[in-house]
Structure 1
Amino acid sequence: MAEVFSSSSSTPASRSSSPPNESSWLVPKPQIDQTDQARESGPRYRQWLSEIWLLTKAAIPVILAYTLQNSLQTISVLIVGRLSPEALATAAFSYMFAMATGWLVALGGTTALDTLASTSFTGSQDKHDLGVLLQRGIVVLTVFYAVIAVVWGFSEPLFRALGQEDFICVQSSRFLCILIPGGLGYVWFECMKKYLQAQEIYRPGTYVLLITSPLNALLNWLLIHKVGIGLYGAPIATGISYWVSFLLLVAYAKFVRGHECWGGLAPRRAVAHLWPFTRLALLGFVHVGTEWWAFEIVALAAGRLGTIPLAAQSVIMTADQIINTIPFGLGVAASARIGNLLGAQKPREAARAAHCAAVLSAVLGAVVLTILISTKDVFGRIFNDDERVVRLVGEVIPFVALFQIADGLNGSCGGVLRGMGRQWVGALVNLVSYYGGALPMGIYLAFHGWGLKGLWFGNCVALYLVGILEWIIVGLSRWDKETKRALDRLHAGGMGGPDDVGVGEISARGQV
């Protein structure tokens, strides 16, 4: 990637009145200052509306991108399902396990970039610090993923210990081994998205996935059914799709927009000061993982309730994964916005953006709630024709609908906390809310007369606890201190000014 982002085009004039060089300063950011000055000049309600609109514009392409990402696996499972019920079960189980382990590196570990990259873009005196953070993220998260890959490689005895059927243990273990190279492409793709989002560039992920989503469907069909590879064509096709997504995003950054913050390979800086980044990545992994693992526990518990509850649970979980892209996407946009404002030393604007994100998430959650409640009696027919499944889905959907506002608060306030570098707070709140009370209560209710409704009632309680607690924590934050901590984090990672640039890296940047 030494020359991947190099370009003959100069930095836009809006950033600086003089030509950019190896130590171009980014403070102040003219375009951000002008935008915020305009936002501050009007009445207070207009300031809030302007911030909400900005977050909406940023969140929409992110939400679409995550929806399309989820579709890659969904399409793969649907195409595999035509082979046999066993192949369908293997693919679904394998992707579920991949999501609960490897994909957490991509979606949880990269929250360190949510924090540091967005702050660097507005707070660092050297614009190329952002490119170094991208390289650091790739290094650290590749090591994380290597650990997961070892688990995948020896997953057969693990699956046997979990009591899975013999064909699942054998075939799913091989499925995951074949998926290992492609999973790394997923991790690098997420790193590239965060690099661009830190620069307030949100749309390329959607553009890229609009290309690779149909490509993924075509590759799955060809490899599984036409070439004759069968079940194991699915991880090959999905892996190719992830790598193509990454390469297309790199091409966008090189030829369209985003290359200004790339200063060439800086290996010595990338592998220096690793602990601050690694700590945030680990906490982000736990923050996102504690919620995902809770839902997987619910899925395992539903399997012990019988065939009909398990079928209804599959319908509800599929729908919830799609719906969850809304609060998760808004949280990503909020992370980048908060990090940008903290790096630019704007505590008041950061506080307002945090509360605007919470308000927007509550409004969107109310819209989803209304749709789910109004369609609860027919919702299950989208996925299944069995009247017993449709009826049970209709009984459980009200609980799913009720936590949409709380899930929105969880997504937005969790994103704000990540932008503040407080992933540990979100992880702690999740651990206490889910595992300290809601999960045990939900499982108890499920096996004492409530059935599947009990499990989802527990989730509902957990999400309200998480959402309300995180909003209170955000509301009590000392934003003036958070701006100082944001720059302290950059300095702890060897970022923040031209004095941090090494001789070797200056030479490398001279090639740009």
Structure 2
Amino acid sequence: MAGTSTPSTPTSMTRPATPNTPNTEYTPLLPKPTGEHGDGFVSRYREWLGEIWILTKAATPVILAYTLQNSLQTASVLIVGRLSPEALATAAFSYMFAMATAWLVALGGTTALDTLASSSFTGSQDRHDLGILLQRGIFVLTILYAIIAVIWSVSEPLFRALGQEEFICVQSSRFLQILIPGGLGYVWFEAMKKYLQAQEIYRPGTYVLLITSPLNILLNWLFVHKFGVGLYGAPIATGISYWVSFLLLVAYAVFVRGHECWGGIDSRRAISNLWPFTRLALLGVVHVGTEWWAFEIVALAAGRLGTIPLAAQSVIMTADQIINTIPFGLGVATSSRIGNLLGAQRPIEAARAAHCAAVLSVLAGSIILAILLGTKDVFGKLFNDDESVVRLVGEVMPFVALFQIADGLNGSCGGVLRGMGKQWVGALVNLISYYGGALPMGIYLAFHGWGLAGLWFGNCVALYIVGALEWVIVGLTTNPLNDWSVSGFQFCVPSNPSFRKRHAIPKMAYDLTR
């Protein structure tokens, strides 16, 4: 076959020796790997490297932004902690409860914009559709946040039912009530970030937080210590910081870049056809929440193991929250990238981006794993001087290090699923993995000889199950041999295009939410 030439065979695939050229010991038996074969391989290699570089550039400012964002409440806790141990416990518990409730609306609910806004930006004939989706998102997310705000306002009996100390029940309830106005700024800030990220504008969130992070420290110090407000000055200061962050991001969009997709306020279109967005937002909350709630359950279980395990758990959780910004930020960037490519009807590039994100997460997870294993015996000294705590952190850290690769896969592949509008798949995988086996196993081991290591071993098992399953699902859904039928990468023309136009839903976004 190598010596047969047909009209359809590219010149580069024919043998170098022609029939009139005698063969010698120097004549190659096979052609050089050039042309369609060799150059094609090099081209694909460069495309993969190019895609990895695109994702790296997109994810880096997102990761920095989430790190700075977490620092707002961390700084608040540290400043309040100078008042008294009770004030420290109250602030830490209050922000933890906020993270497990309202911040899920901000970080989980806005994943609906990852799906719809990114595909709208590249797939819609009217660029102002993206502005309508932002308005719809703010409307829906505000309603969801209002439900959480009601829970915060009557949280005192809830905390008593959870068995918390009396000062926690009273002071945390008041703390959260004061935080309610500022929390809305947090939700709107996240929605605004997703609006810009859908346009492949990733850096403004970092720029804004570089301003508001030091401002937040100053405001907390002023309200808590200088103005004499005490404990309740923290939610006032942090709430102001959230609103300033939102307003600065709006100012960036108006005066610098991002206003091109804003066509003005259109309340009629914004509040129509709410269910597709609401469904994706709720599924996003469940997808992100199922993992966060599992770690909160681990924290509660650690408190029953004793003082030293609880202190070690606090050290590990603090470190993990910082490290988790890497896979979470990569997942956010991946969601926007996948949505943009699907909106542009480029499924092959979307498949490549999905697997490049997984590869990138494995590389990042491997680096973190090596660092944690190399520092496990001294890591605890960064947070605590007690030798018992440092020793226990060193015993548990290998489990934390080992799940970094799986956690990276969970972040990147979860981002792919959200970009495809398949939040329910990630939520289902999390529910089965964490609550169907890993959490009960970890709690059982913790109270049957393993201690704190048993809890983290359970989390390690859960994350590997989640990471492996999600990558398999992504591999199946992005296989071009199955004509994309599994994934919902649908390109058929909807039966009612005028319906999409009226409700600012581009064809791709409509397909993803049917």
Per the TM superposition, whether the score is higher than 0.5 is yes
Shift of 1:492: 9.2
In structure 2, the residue matched to 1:165 is: 165
In structure 1, the residue matched to 2:460 is: 460
In structure 2, the residue matched to 1:127 is: 127
2:281 aligned partner, one-letter code? A
In structure 1, the residue matched to 2:253 is: 253
Considering Cα pairs closer than 8 Å and 6+ residues apart, tell me whether 1 or 2 has the greater RCO.
1
SS of aligned partner of 1:263: coil
| C-alpha distance in 1 between matches for 2:320 and 2:493 | 38
Q: Do the aligned partners of residues 274 and 492 (structure 1) sit closer, same or farther apart at CA in structure 2, a change above 3 Å counting?
A: farther
Shift of 1:295: 0.1
Q: Do the aligned partners of residues 262 and 86 (structure 1) sit closer, same or farther apart at CA in structure 2, a change above 3 Å counting?
A: same
Shift of 1:43: 1.3
1:334 aligned partner, one-letter code? T
Shift of 1:500: 5.7
Q: Tell whether the 8 Å contact from 1:51 to 1:356 is kept in structure 2 after alignment.
A: yes
Q: Do the aligned partners of residues 492 and 358 (structure 1) sit closer, same or farther apart at CA in structure 2, a change above 3 Å counting?
A: farther
Q: Tell whether the 8 Å contact from 2:273 to 2:503 is kept in structure 1 after alignment.
A: no
Percent pairwise identity? 82
Pair 1:178 & 2:178 matched: yes
Q: Tell whether the 8 Å contact from 1:204 to 1:252 is kept in structure 2 after alignment.
A: yes
Q: Tell whether the 8 Å contact from 2:420 to 2:489 is kept in structure 1 after alignment.
A: no
In structure 2, the residue matched to 1:388 is: 388
In structure 1, the residue matched to 2:80 is: 80
Number of residue equivalences: 462
Q: Do the aligned partners of residues 333 and 486 (structure 1) sit closer, same or farther apart at CA in structure 2, a change above 3 Å counting?
A: farther
1:378 aligned partner, one-letter code? V
| C-alpha distance in 1 between matches for 2:232 and 2:127 | 44
In structure 2, the residue matched to 1:359 is: 359
1:166 aligned partner, one-letter code? E
Structure 1 outlier segments of 4+, above 2 Å: 39-42, 478-495, 499-502
1:127 aligned partner, one-letter code? R
Structure whose CA Rg is larger: 2
Q: Do the aligned partners of residues 387 and 352 (structure 1) sit closer, same or farther apart at CA in structure 2, a change above 3 Å counting?
A: same
SS of aligned partner of 2:477: coil
User: What is the TM-score when the length of structure 2 is the normalising length?
Assistant: 0.88
Q: Tell whether the 8 Å contact from 1:274 to 1:493 is kept in structure 2 after alignment.
A: no
Q: Tell whether the 8 Å contact from 2:153 to 2:177 is kept in structure 1 after alignment.
A: yes
Q: Tell whether the 8 Å contact from 1:200 to 1:336 is kept in structure 2 after alignment.
A: yes
SS of aligned partner of 1:376: coil
2:363 aligned partner, one-letter code? V
| C-alpha distance in 2 between matches for 1:135 and 1:308 | 48
SS of aligned partner of 1:360: helix
| C-alpha distance in 2 between matches for 1:418 and 1:324 | 18
Q: Do the aligned partners of residues 255 and 312 (structure 1) sit closer, same or farther apart at CA in structure 2, a change above 3 Å counting?
A: same
1:137 aligned partner, one-letter code? G
User: What is the TM-score when the length of structure 1 is the normalising length?
Assistant: 0.88
Q: Tell whether the 8 Å contact from 2:132 to 2:504 is kept in structure 1 after alignment.
A: no
Shift of 1:485: 3.7
Shift of 1:469: 0.1
SS of aligned partner of 1:421: coil
| C-alpha distance in 1 between matches for 2:165 and 2:379 | 31
| C-alpha distance in 2 between matches for 1:57 and 1:244 | 26
Q: Do the aligned partners of residues 489 and 130 (structure 1) sit closer, same or farther apart at CA in structure 2, a change above 3 Å counting?
A: farther
Shift of 1:44: 1.0
Q: Tell whether the 8 Å contact from 1:346 to 1:483 is kept in structure 2 after alignment.
A: no
Q: Tell whether the 8 Å contact from 1:40 to 1:47 is kept in structure 2 after alignment.
A: no
1:316 aligned partner, one-letter code? I
In structure 1, the residue matched to 2:226 is: 226
* Deviation sequence 1:196-233 (CA, Å, 0-9, x none): 00000000000000000000000000000000000000
Pair 1:152 & 2:120 matched: no
Q: Tell whether the 8 Å contact from 1:345 to 1:483 is kept in structure 2 after alignment.
A: no
* Deviation sequence 1:154-199 (CA, Å, 0-9, x none): 0000000000000000000000000000000000000000000000
| C-alpha distance in 2 between matches for 1:490 and 1:387 | 68
| C-alpha distance in 2 between matches for 1:75 and 1:89 | 14
Consecutive unaligned residues of structure 1, counting only runs of 5 or more, are 1-38, 503-512
| C-alpha distance in 2 between matches for 1:388 and 1:491 | 66
Q: Tell whether the 8 Å contact from 1:343 to 1:486 is kept in structure 2 after alignment.
A: no
Shift of 1:364: 0.1
| C-alpha distance in 2 between matches for 1:324 and 1:492 | 41
2:154 aligned partner, one-letter code? F
In structure 1, the residue matched to 2:93 is: 93
Q: Do the aligned partners of residues 484 and 142 (structure 1) sit closer, same or farther apart at CA in structure 2, a change above 3 Å counting?
A: same
In structure 2, the residue matched to 1:476 is: 476
SS of aligned partner of 1:476: helix
2:452 aligned partner, one-letter code? L
| C-alpha distance in 1 between matches for 2:269 and 2:259 | 19
